[in-house]
A and B are shown apart, each in its own frame.
Chain A
Amino acid sequence: MGLVVTITSGKGGVGKTTATANLGVALARRGQRIACVDADIGLRNLDVVMGLENRIVYDLLDVIEGRAKLRQALIKDKRLPELQLLPAAQKRDKTALTDKQMIKLCDDLRKDFDFILIDSPAGIEGGFKYSVAPADQVLIIATPEVSSVRDADRVIGLVEAQEKPQPRLIINRMRPSMVKRGEMLDTADVLEILSIELIGIVPEDEAIITSTNKGHPVALEDHSPSGAAFTRIAQRMLGEPVPFQVLDDSTGLFNRLSRIFQR
């Protein structure tokens, strides 16, 4: 039985779709059978980030509403045999889907996949709710900025209110040089404020932009800092004890991080 993991953030533009695509790639590269589900009905994007936009025939709502079978709608990624995408419907809106339908869909997917990764829409309305409803685990993604951390805090509260296990945090777009100058919240600050468990830190990386331009997720290769960071998160999702890397040479960050893990 597969595990349903929802990636959400509250705030838009912090990297939910990029994280979903790359975690899907990184997990599939480790032999896991992965279904990436784009739950952002009306604002479909996971397909372009994964580079699969030309192969869509049916979408999530076609499956829900009985016009297509799951296996007809799922798109196989030719680069990775274990990776498949269920695209969102583009010409509908989020009122077309209920929590119950999403739970049923995920229960069907659990039979054939090890992980079902749900790319949640931004916001805390219906789209967020039906994305979290089927989740066994929730990953919150936030950038080290005031607005993103505030929204993450709100979303953590809402996830806990749904009686889900405590979500884990991905800090995205971290800039070690700014942290070093004291001009960006560091990992310890964000963790102290949100008081949830960290699952990974992804550095700001131009490779994300170029890879998205091409529809070729960074995690397909090992050489980019962001791709390596997503791979480490995937390893932690599989229960491998991967130490948290010190981004750059900021000893301050390392010391404060190790202090947190000694508690």
Chain B
Amino acid sequence: MGFLDRIFRQTTKSADTAKERLQFVLAHDRSDISTETLEILKDEIVNVISNYVEIDREHVEVTITTDANISRLVANIPVLNTRRPRAPRRESARQAARPARAVRTKS
């Protein structure tokens, strides 16, 4: 189905919807990593990166996509500030305890 077909078609046909939905659920089904493992992985990635740049923790997305031959770990991590925080921040509790500093680095 070509790009132009999609643009000029008035409504999406249900077969196309079916195909897209299938590709999405299968990408998930085919990965060996469970949702829990993926959450832990995401937390660890976030913590490591936070040691170097300040990131928007609320909007981090970590997913696994699988095509016929290859699986990909895709991480979308919005960076707030490329300046490195002075001390590594490992736990969110510690972060919450120092709100003043967090505000300062943003400005």
A residues touching B (Cβ–Cβ < 8 Å)? 145-146, 149-150, 153-154, 157, 179, 181-186, 189, 193, 195
Contact = CB atoms under 8 A, between A and B. Distances in A.
Ordered nearest first, which 4 A-B pairs have the shortest CB separation?
Answer: A182-B13, A195-B68, A182-B15, A189-B19
A184 B15 contact: yes
Interface stretch (B21-29, B43-51, B96-104): B21-29
A195 B22 CA distance: 13
A193 B29 contact: no
Contacts of A153: 26, 29-30
Contacts of A179: 15
A213 B75 CA distance: 55
Nearest to A178: B15
Contacts, number: 38
> DSSP majority for the B interface?
helix
Contacts of B21: 146
Contacts of A145: 18
A9 B64 CA distance: 26
Contacts of A193: 19, 22-23, 26
A183 B22 contact: no
Interface string B5-38: 0000000011110110111011001100000000
A166 to B, nearest CB: 12
A183 B26 contact: no
A150 B29 contact: yes
A186 B15 contact: yes
